[in-house]
Amino acid sequence: MEPQEGGNAQKDRAVTAIGKTNVTQFDVVPVSARLAEKPVSLLQFARSAGRNMLEVIPAETLRETYVRGPLNIHYFCDPEMITELLVGQGRSFPKAKFTKDIIGSAVGNGLILSEGEKWRQQRRRYSPLFAARNLPVLSRHFAETGTEVAESLAEHQGPVDIAQVAPASTLTNISRVIFSGNKEVSSEQIRVGLIKYFEYISDISLFDLMGLPKWLPRKKWIRSMAPVSTMRDLARQVIEQRRSENRVEPQDFLDFMIEALKTDFEDEETTVDNLLTFVVAGHETSANALAWGYYLLALNPEMQARIRHEIRSVRSDGPIEFSDLESMPLLRAHIKETLRLYPSAAFFARDASDDVEIKGVEIKKGDALFFPVYSLHRNEKLWEAPEQYRPERFLGTSFPRGQYIPFGDGPRICIGAQYAETEIMVLMASVLRRIEFSFADAEMPEPVLTFTMRTSGPLILNANKARDSD
């Protein structure tokens, strides 16, 4: 994308998708990823995908709504086809085998990876956990974390790595709503254990991407699976202790989880699988959305000021409450636009278990169905000015089903979508109310997709007390 000079159609020194670019006050187009401009071989796919999955997605998916890949691969960016594959004829297609190979050792056979009746039972069992009626209780924990983050940033003003602050925030939330109050396990044990656990699952094996047999040793196995076994042990301990407390009223997420299991038996290992599944799903996805969201507001100071005014007009001081969020439509639109430009789950896949034909495209049993959400959300045939940040597009407007799917769709849509949106809104509202973000003199990272879509390196922003802030 070349910068142009003069006139209303100009773009001032846009942040391009090629290489890393120093950000200045004139940048108006958010940084984007480099997709594959040339066909990628299977070996190249495996090698590149382990480093950055975005590099193997054809750039053509930004311009076309269906792309036939090599071998038996299909790329879908057509909302109607996506809906038919996730909600219609393909609703029962299983998750891709390589997905299970990549994260199976970390999350077991919980809700993310289970199939068939086992999945249906778990979905029914855990759906009540994420009901809106539970969110006010959980929001109090999110608000406490958000207040602490805002206070820390206000006390230590200046350059800060948002790519570190954001995951620290969601890590604290996990400790509060799942692992808090345990007499046998310290908060430091949990913090260290979770950090090592996330490092482990984010290390994608080339062998898994190539579909090689599970008995072949992976490089990360040499470093041992201790992070996984440690977290499983910690999970068992906190579950057992919390059950022994037999609380009358649920006070956090773990209480809600145990309450759900009182009337619906589940074996211990599956419960541990699901606890870690919720930990994984609830950490990086929200953390990435927060980091990219702060970046976009630094890039658009006028919108940042408008959102800050909205937050303060609803709750000028004191903890942000769940009931406040309904009165913050601009903040919600900003988060939706953040998830459009930088979806945490930027890519997912299914394996076709039957022959189907959709809109003239023949899909054979065993074909790999790829859903490049990153491309879908930036497809030039579906969105006006797809590369530009325009949160207003989500105000009073609806889009065809299958066009905007940051949490997936169909029976396997993310069970914690409302939980995640609530967590992000409460944390961001708590911070933006007091803190103003702007660009520092630092190199900007690119989007990188491994387990989730994160920044390729530090994301340095200036964090200072906002005007009229105490």
Give residue-wise pLDDT tens across range 201-247: 655 544 444 454 554 444 444 455 677 777 788 888 888 888 888 88
Question: Please, what's the largest Cα pairwise distance for the chain?
Answer: 69
CA dist., res. 344 & res. 407, Å (int): 9
CA-to-CA dists, residue 80 to 127, 145, 382, 404, angstroms: 27, 40, 12, 12
CA dist., res. 378 & res. 410, Å (int): 21
Using left for φ > 0, alpha for ψ between -120 and 50, and beta otherwise, residue 436 falls in: beta
Give which of 342, 361, 340 is closest to 75, Cα–Cα: 361
The pLDDT of 111-121, averaged and rounded, is: 86
What pLDDT, on a 0 to 100 scale, did the predictor assign at position 181?
A: 60
What pLDDT, on a 0 to 100 scale, did the predictor assign at position 351?
A: 94
What pLDDT, on a 0 to 100 scale, did the predictor assign at position 394?
A: 97
Q: Which two tokens stand for residue 415?
A: 């069970």
CA-to-CA dists, residue 453 to 56, 61, 173, 343, 406, angstroms: 14, 17, 20, 7, 12
Is residue 2 included in any domain, yes or no? no
Is residue 86 included in any domain, yes or no? yes
Q: Report the Cα 443 to chain-centroid distance in Å.
A: 23
Q: Residue 417: CB partners within 8 Å, gap ≥ 6?
A: 407
Pairwise pLDDT comparison (15 vs 398), residue with the higher score: 398
Return the number of other C-beta atoms located less than 10 Å from residue 224's C-beta. 10
- Confidence check: pLDDT of 12 > 90: no
The pLDDT tens digits for 400-447 are 999 999 999 999 999 999 999 999 999 999 999 999 999 998 888 999
- Residue 28: phi and psi, rounded to 5, are -125, -20
Is residue 394 included in any domain, yes or no? yes
Is residue 21 included in any domain, yes or no? no
The pLDDT of 97-114, averaged and rounded, is: 71
Containing structural domain, residue 282: 42-465
Q: How many CA atoms within 13 Å lie on the side-chain side of 250? A: 21
Mean pLDDT, the chain, as a whole number? 83
What pLDDT, on a 0 to 100 scale, did the predictor assign at position 6?
A: 35
CA dist., res. 169 & res. 424, Å (int): 10
Contacts of 386-391 with C-beta under 8 Å, sequence gap 24+, read 386/62, 387/1, 387/29, 387/30, 387/32, 388/28, 388/29, 388/30, 389/29, 389/30, 389/296, 389/299, 389/300, 389/303, 389/337, 389/341, 390/337, 391/303, 391/330, 391/333, 391/334, 391/336, 391/337
Strand order in the sheet with 460-465: 158-161, 460-465, 435-439
- Confidence check: pLDDT of 131 > 80: yes
CA dist., res. 284 & res. 169, Å (int): 10
Give which of 152, 141, 230 is closest to 426, Cα–Cα: 141
Weakest-pLDDT range from 87-101, 132-146, 282-296, 381-395:
87-101
Is residue 29 included in any domain, yes or no? no
Is residue 171 included in any domain, yes or no? yes
Q: Which two tokens stand for residue 323?
A: 């009931």
Contact 289, 452 (CB under 8 A): no
Rounded to a whole number of angstroms, the distance between the first and last alpha carbons of the chain is: 42
Which DSSP state fits 129? G
Return the number of other C-beta atoms located less than 10 Å from residue 435's C-beta. 25
Q: Residue 437: CB partners within 8 Å, gap ≥ 6?
A: 162, 294, 295, 297, 298, 304, 461, 462, 463
Contact 36, 57 (CB under 8 A): yes
Beta strands in 77-180 (DSSP E): 158-161
Is residue 15 included in any domain, yes or no? no
Is residue 22 included in any domain, yes or no? no
Q: Report the Cα 305 to chain-centroid distance in Å.
A: 25
What pLDDT, on a 0 to 100 scale, did the predictor assign at position 451?
A: 74
Quick one: which H or E segment has residue 393?
none
- Confidence check: pLDDT of 118 > 80: yes
Q: How many independent structural domains does the chain possess?
A: 1
The pLDDT of 10-20, averaged and rounded, is: 33
Quick one: which H or E segment has residue 38?
none
Question: Between helices 226-245 and 268-299, what is the axis angle to 10°?
Answer: 110
CA dist., res. 403 & res. 406, Å (int): 10
CA dist., res. 70 & res. 88, Å (int): 25
- Confidence check: pLDDT of 1 > 60: no
Q: Convert 454-469 to b/e letters by CB count within 10 Å (16 or more is b).
A: bbbebbbbbbbebeee
- Residue 131: phi and psi, rounded to 5, are -65, 150
Contact 431, 149 (CB under 8 A): yes
Give the CATH number of the domain where residue 327 resides: 1.10.630.10
What pLDDT, on a 0 to 100 scale, did the predictor assign at position 139?
A: 96
